[in-house]
Amino acid sequence: AFMLEGGGANGKSTFINLLKCFLGKKNCAAVPLQQLEINRFALSSLFGKLANLFADLPDRALRDTSFFKMLVGEDLIPGERKFKDQFFFNNYAKQIFSCNRIPRSPDDSDAFFRRWVIIRFPNQFLNNQADKRLLTKLTSQEELSGFLNFAIGGLKRLLDQGDFSNSKSINEIREQYTRMSDSVGTFIMDCILTSPEDYEQKKTLYTSYCDYCRSMNYPIFPENTFHRELQKSLRVEDYYPSLIIEGKQQRVKCWRGIKFNLKWEKNPNNLNNPNQIKENEENDVNLVNDVKDVSHLNIAGRVKND
């Protein structure tokens, strides 16, 4: 499954629509990821389709991922249509979604993350930079024929390599997905260290989380949600030490088992491994340059004359 992520006006919908024209609208479904789990008629929409293409996925958190994993695997899929008998089918529709922010997932398993290829669209095309006729240009019969040659070349490369170019490990995909979907999980990765004998005040911890999210332009969850998610992710326990605050001794609500990462406190602008950031940025730029190069090529001229 593929997730195209970007803030907006960066070509995701254009790419989705290009694929739809290339494959043929009758061969495509348009079911959002969240509906695959809660709408019992949604799965049947994928029967006989080549791709499930959905642009602008809502960032509403996923409830369950079992059907998604079945669709991307080789499981037999139950289909159901109104007033008709249930049937079963093998799904071969590729799942391709685009979003401004990846929806959070309750599933932290390798089986979930190894099914994803996440592609960032980091560049924006605003006002005069945007070509309003780009999709029309790319979907002419000549250009679509050239795009087929381009796709066949990519398929050959995939078969030769046995995997996609620039593929990541499961742990790298897990971190990438978390950073793009879960501000609490990202805060934990960057700012929290496990330490059985230490503790942090809950109020102070939440204030630090809010500061972190503002600096990173991440959504801020309510305080009760923050503490609930933190407790799910870490082995912490309630602790009420007697502390002197503003000259008065009082019991304070704390989490025991963690401590704040001083590296973030001292240098909040250097959250991650700089080499990893540079590597990720280079990968994004290379992907975008590849697309940009294709858009400027006379693709139709590459069609073989038989």
- The domain that holds 249 is classified in CATH as 1.10.10.10
Which pLDDT tens digit goes with each residue over 232-256? 999 999 999 988 877 888 899 999 9
Confidence of residue 269 (pLDDT cuts 50, 70, 90): low
DSSP secondary structure code for residue 301 in this structure: G
The whole-number average pLDDT for the span 102-114 is 94
User: 255 with 200: CB under 8 angstroms?
Assistant: yes
Confidence of residue 9 (pLDDT cuts 50, 70, 90): confident
DSSP secondary structure code for residue 19 in this structure: H
CATH number at residue 286: 3.40.50
- Which range marks the domain in which residue 208 is found? 183-266
Q: Which of 172, 63, 42 is nearest to 110 (CA)?
A: 172
DSSP secondary structure code for residue 252 in this structure: -
Q: Which residues pair with 249 in a beta bridge?
A: 244
Which pLDDT tens digit goes with each residue over 164-206? 988 899 999 999 999 999 999 999 999 999 999 999 999 999 9
**Per-residue model confidence (pLDDT) at position 63:** 92
Q: How many domains does the chain have?
A: 2
Q: Are residues 201 and 83 in the same domain?
A: no
Whether the per-residue pLDDT at 300 is higher than 70: the answer is no
Q: What is the pTM of this model?
A: 0.78
Which pLDDT tens digit goes with each residue over 55-71? 999 989 999 999 999 99
Q: Are residues 262 and 278 in the same domain?
A: no
Whether the per-residue pLDDT at 274 is higher than 50: the answer is no
The whole-number average pLDDT for the span 143-153 is 95
